[in-house]
Structure 1
Amino acid sequence: MENIYANDFNISPPQNETFLDVNRSQLQNEVDMIHRIQVIQNVANQLRRAEEAAEDQPPRWFQNWLTDENAFPSRMETRFNRMEARFDRMETRFNGMDVRNRKTENIQLRSMGFPINIVPFLSGTQPDDDLPEIRSVEDIDGLTRDQCARYLDGYGIRFNFNESIKMKERLRDILGLISIYDLSHHFSGFN
Structure 2
Amino acid sequence: MDKNEISLLLLLRYFGYDEKSVIDMIDDFKGRLMIQKIVYISLVGGVDIGYSFTWNKHGPDSSRLTRAYNKILNSFMDGDRDYTEYEFWRSARRSLNKIKPLIVDNPLEEKGISKYEWLEIVSSILFWSTLYNNIDYGVEKVKELKLEYKDMIEPAKNEIVKYFPAMDQVLIV
Point out which structure has higher relative CO (alpha carbons under 8 A, 6+ apart): 2
Asked which structure has the greater CA Rg, the reply is 1
Name the one with the larger helix percent.
Answer: 2
Q: Same fold (TM over 0.5)?
A: no
- Name the TM-score, length of structure 2 as normaliser: 0.24
